[in-house]
Amino acid sequence: MMKATKALPICSALLAGCLSAAATYGAGYTPVTDARLANPEPGNWLMTRGNYQGWSYSSLDQINTGNVKRLVPVWAVATGVNSGLQAPPLVNNGMMFVGTPSAQVLALDARNGNVIWRYKRELPDDFSALHNTNRGVALYGDKVYVMGLEPVLIALDAKTGNVVWEQKLEDYHTGYYSTMAPLIVKGKVLAGVSGGEFGVRGFVAAFDAETGTPAWKTYTIPGPGDPGGNTWPSDTWKRGGGATWMTGTYDPDTNLVFWGVGNASPWFGDQRPGDNLYTASTIALDPSTGAIRGHFQYHWNDSWDWDEMNAPMVVDYKMGGKTVKGLLKPARNGYLYWLSRSAPAGGGSVIGFVHATNYVKQDVFKSIDPNTGRPTYNDDKKPGTGKKASFCPSLWGGKDWPFESYNPKTGMVYIPANENHCGFLDGKVQEYVPGKWWTGVDIPDIGFTVNKDATFFGDVQAWDVSGGKKVWDWKVPKSMMWGSILSTAGGLVFVGGTNDRKFRALDGKTGQVLWEFITNSGIIAPPVSYTLDGKQYIAVASGWGVDAQFQQGLLSNLLPGWDKSIPEGGVIWAFAVQ
Amino acid sequence: MLGLGVSWSLLDVAAAAPKDPAAARPTPGDQLVFVLGDRKGQVVKVEDLALGGPQELAYPMDPATKVVRDATRLNQVLLIRLDPAELKPDARANAAEGVVAYSAICTHQGCDVSQWKPDSKMLLCVCHGSEYDPRDRAKVTFGPAPRRLAMLPVKTEGGVLVVAGPFKGKVGFMDL
């Protein structure tokens, strides 16, 4: 059962400096409580997107538009890993925790990057995953939670890195794996899975945070007799996809968890006629039971590999003169959605449609029902089995998984987007073999095209969440945008995501670049902010890889002058104003 | 209950040492059997392979015991039949009647090299698009793979493909 695991103590008894570091953190570790997660201190970064609502926002303002030009690196530390780093560093009172590819966790001194402990997972020798990345750890009590890729949920002692417990979610031989950051809600650890290209049936599972005891497991693909089960013909639900590969958001007011559900499987809708709930949807879960309380499906009968795996942000906004308790989501399908959230006593639909507009060129939707948000399609833009069709944006969408950010001071949402790219798919019926590629399309029949005359490809867009209008658009001429965004009360927008290895600070009101720094590699991880001894820091991991790398390779064939590869090698950086 | 980290890991490694013939590496004299499709489990002959590609996936099989060595994916190989004149000398030295065999485990992240790019006639990894030239010892021609695929020397006995020696090169991918 148990896989080989180990925590490597970096300090030995011979090293007095390490002893003092261990003593400091051993005695002084501050447990993470429900109250702290619901109302995180500005000086810490306790969860992936900073708060339960998923804002990726820091209320710190010591680093601001006036002094950001003096921002300099104060430390950096090598992770020892190539391949894409996609995890934000979490910070709890001076101790930093970062996940890396291959399910490694580093515990660092947030003052100087010194390694306090390191956990390395020893994966089975025949294990492979489409993505071996890690998208973050979770903190609760005196533990750190990380997904072993297999997929296994692992609880580590925050002070030592020792394994406290492990729980296997599924058998990796059948195509399941996991890279997401667990979500902690009221004493439970919620975890999701990847595998939508291998014919899995997605689910969210919850475990007792203290003991690891399984609490509930909710499939995103309903079976026969379940609500929504009639949206799947015959036994297609068994391999219907609907992976849950990004972390949910949580609304303490309604006590609902919002979780994103990925693409349907195989990729072509004519092999599974129907709406195919809950693929390409947001589901609302009761965190204590796992019951699905409601859902909103962005596009039915998904045929474009447009996962809607990112949970919406929990944001209140004004629309049509009324304040809406809402959800906001820039979707992979290229539309920006304003939704409502509620928890009626009798159950029923808790996610309502309010408004949607495209934020990149999208040629698939013919219309969107103004009452329900349900789209109609241009049929010639819907690929199928033996039916090649092109569509915009490509399968990577208007944006992929990188996080948008909401700044309550400016009232704007900042979206990392990609424009001027399209794709085509030509489907077939593929033999199902457990653990093997099962999308219904061979790789050479997945097309990626760009507008060669375009003046930009990646961009950061700022939208007024209440007016529903775009305010500014910072465009990148020679790169796609793969960076998650951090906005701050200092009026800044921090973002990497470009192929020039740069980390930038933009003016949140205008989109003007105020500061930039060239790092070791490309940044595809979310930036965070924290304080130590009254001083504000910005931290981010730089390490190119995963889909940004794959897409860059394709672009180097399409666009003259684009580098074939970007240097790899994960480094964590911390910056402060000097 | 799981606090015994390092000592447990040593025990695990010892326990995993392959006595199981289905987990043993390809052994000289092994035949090869199809992994997929209608011919799954069938012994591969040269004439079963389309000249010029695409590749077929196969597992080695002990012909005496009929044990298929499929207990680990690391034993999965790809077979492709090419015009012998197209093969570079290093590839030809390990080929039989134009058939070359390589590990089907991508050196990038360990995914299957199960796809074929008809326009450039390259082997293609299903995950991140790394391409390998089957004519040139599976040299990387595109994508993130850091090194070529391991080659499995083959010969023929009465038209049946047979493993002629152990893998040349490292099977699998770099991990931590």
Residues of A103-113 as b/e, b for ≥16 C-beta within 10 angstroms? bbbbbbbbbeb
pLDDT category of residue B176 using cuts at 50, 70 and 90: low
Q: Distance between CA A218 and CA A242 in Å, rounded?
A: 12
Report residue B61 as tokens: 């099989």
Q: Which of B2, B37, B126 minimises the CB distance to A2?
A: B2
Interface test with A, best of B25, B128, B130, B171 (most A CBs within 10 A): B128
The Cα A66–Cα A296 span in angstroms is 42
Nearest to B72 by CA among A97, A41, A127, A486: A127
Integer Cα distance of A354 and A373 in angstroms = 8
CA angle A540, A79, A57 (to 5 degrees): 15
* Farthest CA pair distance, chain A: 70
Torsion A389-A338-A56-A177 (CA) sign: negative
Q: Which residues, in sequence order, are CB contacts of A444 under 8 Å at separation 6+?
A: B115, B116, B117, B118, B119, B124
Mean pLDDT for B118-135 is 95
Contact A437 B112 (CB under 8 A): yes
User: Does residue B132 sit within a domain?
Assistant: yes
Whole-number pLDDT of residue B7: 38
DSSP B25: P
- CA of A160: which chain B residue's CA is closest? B3
In whole angstroms, what is the distance from residue A62 CA to residue A488 CA? 10
Each residue's pLDDT tens digit in chain A (578 positions)? 333 344 544 443 333 334 344 444 555 799 999 999 999 999 999 999 999 999 999 999 999 999 999 999 999 999 999 999 999 999 999 999 999 999 999 999 999 999 999 999 999 988 999 999 999 999 999 999 999 999 999 999 999 999 999 999 999 999 999 999 999 999 999 999 999 999 999 999 999 999 999 999 999 999 999 999 999 999 999 999 999 999 999 999 999 999 999 999 999 999 999 999 999 999 999 999 999 999 999 999 999 999 999 999 999 999 989 999 999 999 999 999 999 999 888 766 799 999 999 999 999 999 999 999 999 999 999 999 999 999 999 999 999 999 999 999 999 999 999 999 999 999 999 999 999 999 999 999 999 999 999 999 999 999 999 989 999 999 999 999 999 999 999 999 999 999 999 999 999 999 999 999 999 999 999 999 999 999 999 999 999 999 999 999 999 999 999 999 899 999 999 999 99
Name the DSSP class of A217: E
**Sheet strands side by side (includes A528-532):** A71-78, A571-577, A535-542, A528-532
The amino acid occupying position A172 is Y
> Tokens representing A63?
């680093």
Phi, psi of A255, rounded to the nearest 5 degrees: 55, 45
pLDDT (tens digit per residue) in B25-76 = 999 999 999 999 999 999 999 999 999 999 999 999 999 999 999 999 999 9
Q: In the prediction, which pLDDT does B19 show?
A: 79
Torsion of CA A40, A46, A47, A49, to 10 degrees: 60
Closest-CA residue in chain B for A546? B128
Q: How far is B125 from chain A (nearest CA, A)?
A: 8
**Nearest of A218, A216, A163 to residue A187 by alpha carbon:** A216
Whether B2 and A123 lie within 8 Å, measured CB to CB: no
Residues of A with catalytic annotation? 305
Asked if A1 is an interface residue toward chain B (Cβ–Cβ < 8 A), one would say no
Residue B139 lies in a domain: yes
CA distances from B127 to A152, A170, A393, B114 (A): 22, 21, 21, 10
Rg (CA), chain B: 17
β strands within A363-497, DSSP E: 365-368, 375-377, 389-391, 405-407, 412-418, 421-425, 446-450, 458-464, 470-476, 485-488, 492-495
Tell me if B14 is assigned to some domain: no
Following CA atoms A44, A48, A51, A52 in sequence, which dihedral angle do they give, to the nearest 10 degrees? -140
Nearest CA in chain A to B124: A443
**Strands B56-61, A95-100: parallel, antiparallel or unpaired by DSSP?**
unpaired
The domain tally of chain B equals 1
CA distance A165 to A182: 15
In what helix (H) or strand (E) does residue A568 lie, and over which residues does it extend? none
The rounded distance, in Å, linking the Cα atoms of A35 and A449 is: 48
User: The tokens of A383 are what?
Assistant: 């690929």
Nearest Cβ partner for A126 among B8, B12, B74: B74
C-alpha to C-alpha distance for A76 and A73, rounded to whole angstroms: 7
Subunit contact B109:A130, Cβ cutoff 8 A = yes
Q: Does A162 touch chain B (CB under 8 A)?
A: yes
Question: SS3 of A52, please?
Answer: coil
With CA atoms as reference, the chain A residue closest to B14 would be A4
> How far does CA A119 lie from the centroid of its chain?
22
- Whether the CB-CB separation of A165 and A212 falls below 8 Å is answered with yes
The amino acid present at A41, given as its one-letter code, is E
Torsion angles phi and psi, residue A565, rounded to 5: -140, 155
Classify residue A184 by burial, with Cβ atoms within 10 Å: 0-12, 13-18, 19+: buried
Per the listing, tokens 């530390």 go with: A77
Give the one of B9, B118, B128 whose C-beta lies nearest to A444's C-beta.
B118
Assess if residue B172 is contained within a domain: no
Chain B positions touching A125 (Cβ under 8 A) are 72, 74, 172
Instruction: Confirm whether B9 is domain-assigned.
Output: no
Across the strands, what pairs with A154?
A146, A166
Cβ–Cβ pairs < 8 A, chains A and B = 98
| Cis? peptide before A312, omega within 30° of 0 | no
A534 burial type by CB count under 10 A (0-12 exposed, 13-18 middle, 19+ buried): exposed
Residue B175, in any domain of the structure: no
Length of chain B: 176
Nearest CA in chain B to A197: B127
The SS3 assignment for A561 reads: coil
Vertex A492 angle, CA A490 and A498, to 5°: 155
Q: Which residues of A touch B6 (CB under 8 A)?
A: 6
pLDDT of residue A344: 85
Q: Do A104 and B13 touch (CB under 8 A)?
A: no
Question: Dihedrals φ, ψ of B17, to 5°?
Answer: -60, 125
Cα B31 from Cα A421, distance rounded (Å): 47
Assign residue B158 the CATH number of its domain.
2.102.10.10
For residue A16, what are the contacts with CB-CB under 8 A and spacing of at least 6?
none
Does residue B12 lie in a domain region? no
Q: Across the interface, do B5 and A166 touch by the CB < 8 Å criterion? A: no
User: Which helix (H) or strand (E) covers residue A145, if one does?
Assistant: strand A143-148
CA–CA distance, B79 with B100 (Å, rounded to integer): 6
Name all contacts of B41-48 with Cβ < 8 Å and 24+ positions apart.
B41/B68, B43/B160, B44/B79, B44/B160, B44/B161, B45/B159, B45/B160, B45/B161, B46/B81, B46/B96, B46/B97, B46/B98, B46/B99, B46/B156, B46/B159, B46/B161, B47/B159
In this complex, is the C-beta atom of A123 within 8 Å of any C-beta atom belonging to chain B?
Answer: yes
Give how far the C-alpha of residue A75 lies from the chain's centroid of Cα atoms, to the nearest Å.
26
Between B12 and A99, whose confidence is greater?
A: A99
* Pairing verdict, β A485-488 and A57-58: parallel
What's the burial of A495, exposed, middle or buried (CB within 10 Å: 0-12/13-18/19+)?
buried
Show the tokens assigned to A300: 């039915």
Which chain A residues are closer than 8 Å to B176 by Cβ? 80-81, 101-102, 104, 120-121
C-alpha dihedral (A212, A215, A221, A222), degrees to nearest 10: 160
- Give this prediction's pTM: 0.93
- For residue B18, the model assigns a pLDDT of 53
Alpha helices in chain B (DSSP H): 5-15, 89-92
CA–CA distance, A368 with B86 (Å, rounded to integer): 55
* Angstrom distance (rounded) from CA A114 to CA A112: 6
Place of tokens 């304003």: A338
Position A185: which residue type?
A: V
Distance CA A404, CA A328 (A): 10
Query: A4 touching B, CB under 8 A?
Result: yes
Q: Which domain holds residue B102?
A: 20-163
Cα angle A22, A25, A28 (rounded to 5 degrees) comes to 140
How distant is the Cα of A553 from the closest Cα of chain B, in angstroms? Answer: 6
| Residue B3 covered by a domain | no
